[in-house]
Structure 1
């Protein structure tokens, strides 16, 4: 397995000032070079090395393993896709859409299997996911979602709960019903990504940190510390894709922010529910998401932070006092039992959104390297499916995975600035206004339909 290390004896000398792993310090060669040490890159390295232990695999990371969304997400390992199954069916056909969704259901079980088999302790609990309906318009959407699942033969995978059934699982205010899917696990995201990084290193994969990729081709990764020449190159940079020259308009980085409470006592959890550590959201337009952690905190997040001009990503964007305060107010509305419980942690980060909100995996027909991303915040499980698919594509294996409709999908590029800034932030305001309009009128918002047209 030590054959998986780069061939240059000096390639990993020195220490990265960022994460503690060595930085690249010269030209080297490998069979597979992966840019990005998040879930996508590490799952790809894992499945490739398990299938072919002789492969020399190097993972190149600008910061440190797990720096991006992989280490600080909402902890939902779910079967959710950013593209509804009805949209997938219109684009790719009914059978392909069903196959894609069933592959995602199976992926949740696959992540559980690997973490157990490989001894990765990431606080995983398969409690399912609950989307509450707390207004009549939200209930209408819940009924439609369950009916659509049944139409595609997935009635057992997404089902409608009554108000009593939903409240028994999650006792939020004003619950009229919910949709529930058993295909979701709550995890500790940083424990998963750090466990994966340590695992692939034990399998002989080399991870270099503090090394910036400047240009990618089919067989080279040119970095600020040397050039890696490889038989295959994978771009696994998700929300940071735009930082690589030539990729600025591929994926738009949009921030999602989170807050966490202190550990809550048993009496409080008896009032809230989530006994199985179900993840939860509701059917509003502006996404919210939460989970009960293994140490009994309530972690809660949502969208609403602005898109920054030029796809800018900066450390100061990871927190936003206005958004954190709004998240805390929303928590109080959902669970009055929290009273004046403070927020102990607030954080966030960027996620990658394709112009058509369609995740994709495959080989760039123009530039020759492999890629995966555009998960729109649903990447914990999707990245695992991407890693297995990239394994098959690179090894030349035709499989059920390589036949899935996201393989080879090409999303349109985002508009240049300032159109991108204007459009994304206008959509965010429209979505927020749509929820307020529905709360005020009790009817479906026309703003939501306008947002769908604006975002494609």
Structure 2
């Protein structure tokens, strides 16, 4: 059996990781869900809460929380993979506003379920800072504020200058920030595994160590495994990046690696220098980004950037353990907080997140095929998965609601290009985005018009 604790600090500190029993022969249920990550478990939870009589089975290749749900940065915030600007362009002002309001609700629902179900996920709602660490980032945060003004939600956001930012936390080179009130920090593996237990208490069954090898659509759709078939009225696909490993789905979603380094618990004197007493989640502007979490036990988790794409979408442990990326993370953390010099970095890990071609999540149910899909978060999934679970619950139970009218509920994603174009294109776009940032550092501003790479990546 794998040592699952080695895959992230979150899993290491999430309690007992003993796998649940696998599927033992074919079975029939009302709803069969692929993936015991947050998407699958939120869907199972809200379905069972809506209709306790449903027979719901979740089928997981490893253990609950093995994938991105147990390795992410712990950001439970209202950010959506597409900015209001892109949502307005694609769907209109009212749809963009509705998506943002739904994301606000998702952050709160995560906290409410943790409280109601006794899930000790270290949930703390204290907001999100997006930090500008160069003058050329300031127009970007001002533009974003104009976008939220356009959808009438500016009261949920705040622009801060360098002095105001330093009153909350002291980041090297910070010239300003953008504060989002709807944001929380969580211990994501504890959230995922606590949610799995809540699903079981409500009558759901979770089969672990059971890899799905194919999906059979039709009047009686099924998840096909080597241990038997799980036939259902509805099959829900929630494997995120791992959906790319299923037959015929390699172009549906792109697995992109992301990496995190973690400090030892910091001394109180170090925290006095940093500030950050409210444990807000922190992100950075720029084409390569960065994300930070102040953990409940006083560490800093630092994600330097979201990086590579493995050729032909091949996911393996090896792609998650590139030492040069971890070293970059350690250097970047010191650049943010020079007072960390001499502090030990005790953990490092990586994983894969799922990126759709148009960066728009999918939360759909096709009654003809019997297949529902919840995926495509581009690394913004901790709160968005909660929204997925509630949207899919309304779709599956035929409940007409504001959620079923969100654009994600009828979204048909464009497939990625075939190989080798997919790999070449990704490399070219990532290189170009890096060059845009390097040029901006020299000139003090971004190009007046978005570059081709920025338009393709929808940054």
Normalized against structure 1, the TM-score is what? Answer: 0.94
Contact 2:58 2:205 in 1 (8 A): yes
| Aligned with 1:419 (options 415, 418, 421) | 421
Distance in 2 (CA, whole Å) between partners of 1:163 and 1:455 is: 29
Partner of 1:12: none
Distance in 2 (CA, whole Å) between partners of 1:286 and 1:433 is: 10
Contact 2:93 2:150 in 1 (8 A): no
SS in 2 for 1:40: helix
Q: CA deviation at 1:268?
A: 0.6
SS in 1 for 2:232: strand
Q: Closer, same or farther in 2 for the Cα pair 1:227/1:193, shift >3 Å? A: same
Partner of 1:361: 363
SS in 2 for 1:100: helix
Q: CA deviation at 1:302?
A: 3.0
**Superimposed CA distance per residue, residues 273-305 of structure 1 (whole angstroms, 9 cap, x where no aligned partner):** 211101111211102000100000000103253
Contact 1:76 1:184 in 2 (8 A): yes
**Superimposed CA distance per residue, residues 376-431 of structure 1 (whole angstroms, 9 cap, x where no aligned partner):** 00000000000011111111110111111111101110001000001112222222
Distance in 2 (CA, whole Å) between partners of 1:85 and 1:277 is: 26
Confirm whether residue 342 of structure 1 aligns to residue 344 of structure 2: yes
Larger mean Cα displacement after TM superposition, 18-27 or 346-355: 18-27
Larger mean Cα displacement after TM superposition, 96-105 or 157-166: 157-166
SS in 2 for 1:344: strand
Q: Closer, same or farther in 2 for the Cα pair 1:188/1:385, shift >3 Å? A: same
Q: CA deviation at 1:449?
A: 1.9
Distance in 2 (CA, whole Å) between partners of 1:240 and 1:35 is: 10
Gaps of 5+ in 1: 1-17
Partner of 1:134: 133
Q: Closer, same or farther in 2 for the Cα pair 1:367/1:249, shift >3 Å? A: farther
| Aligned with 1:391 (options 390, 393, 396) | 393
Confirm whether residue 293 of structure 1 aligns to residue 292 of structure 2: no
Partner of 1:13: none
Q: Closer, same or farther in 2 for the Cα pair 1:62/1:447, shift >3 Å? A: farther
Contact 1:82 1:358 in 2 (8 A): yes
Contact 2:126 2:181 in 1 (8 A): yes
Partner of 1:436: 438
Normalized against structure 2, the TM-score is what? Answer: 0.93
Larger mean Cα displacement after TM superposition, 216-225 or 43-52: 216-225
Confirm whether residue 278 of structure 1 aligns to residue 280 of structure 2: yes
**Superimposed CA distance per residue, residues 351-398 of structure 1 (whole angstroms, 9 cap, x where no aligned partner):** 000001111100247743000110000000000000011111111110
Q: Closer, same or farther in 2 for the Cα pair 1:142/1:453, shift >3 Å? A: closer
Contact 1:75 1:291 in 2 (8 A): yes
**Superimposed CA distance per residue, residues 286-328 of structure 1 (whole angstroms, 9 cap, x where no aligned partner):** 0200010000000010325321100010011122111111111
Larger mean Cα displacement after TM superposition, 379-388 or 267-276: 267-276
Contact 1:305 1:320 in 2 (8 A): no
Partner of 1:254: 256
SS in 2 for 1:402: helix
Distance in 1 (CA, whole Å) between partners of 2:201 and 2:339 is: 46
Residues 92-103 of structure 1 mapped to structure 2, 5 A cutoff: 92-103=91-102
Q: CA deviation at 1:19?
A: 4.7
Q: CA deviation at 1:445?
A: 4.4
Q: Closer, same or farther in 2 for the Cα pair 1:340/1:429, shift >3 Å? A: farther
Computed over aligned residues only, the root mean square deviation of the Cα atoms, in angstroms, reads: 1.5
Partner of 2:225: 223
Residues 141-152 of structure 1 mapped to structure 2, 5 A cutoff: 141-152=140-151
Q: CA deviation at 1:238?
A: 0.5
Partner of 2:75: 76
**Superimposed CA distance per residue, residues 412-456 of structure 1 (whole angstroms, 9 cap, x where no aligned partner):** 100010000011122222222222222122121489622123336
Q: Closer, same or farther in 2 for the Cα pair 1:19/1:253, shift >3 Å? A: farther
Distance in 2 (CA, whole Å) between partners of 1:367 and 1:319 is: 39
Contact 2:433 2:454 in 1 (8 A): no
Q: Closer, same or farther in 2 for the Cα pair 1:320/1:211, shift >3 Å? A: same
Partner of 1:10: none
Distance in 1 (CA, whole Å) between partners of 2:150 and 2:457 is: 26
Distance in 2 (CA, whole Å) between partners of 1:304 and 1:404 is: 27
Partner of 2:247: 245
Larger mean Cα displacement after TM superposition, 432-441 or 148-157: 432-441
Distance in 1 (CA, whole Å) between partners of 2:140 and 2:340 is: 28
Q: Closer, same or farther in 2 for the Cα pair 1:286/1:154, shift >3 Å? A: same
Q: Closer, same or farther in 2 for the Cα pair 1:116/1:19, shift >3 Å? A: same
Q: CA deviation at 1:340?
A: 2.5
SS in 2 for 1:257: strand
Segments ≥4 residues shifted beyond 6 Å? none
Contact 2:256 2:306 in 1 (8 A): no
Confirm whether residue 326 of structure 1 aligns to residue 328 of structure 2: yes
**How many residues are aligned here?**
439
Partner of 1:153: 152
Distance in 2 (CA, whole Å) between partners of 1:246 and 1:365 is: 20
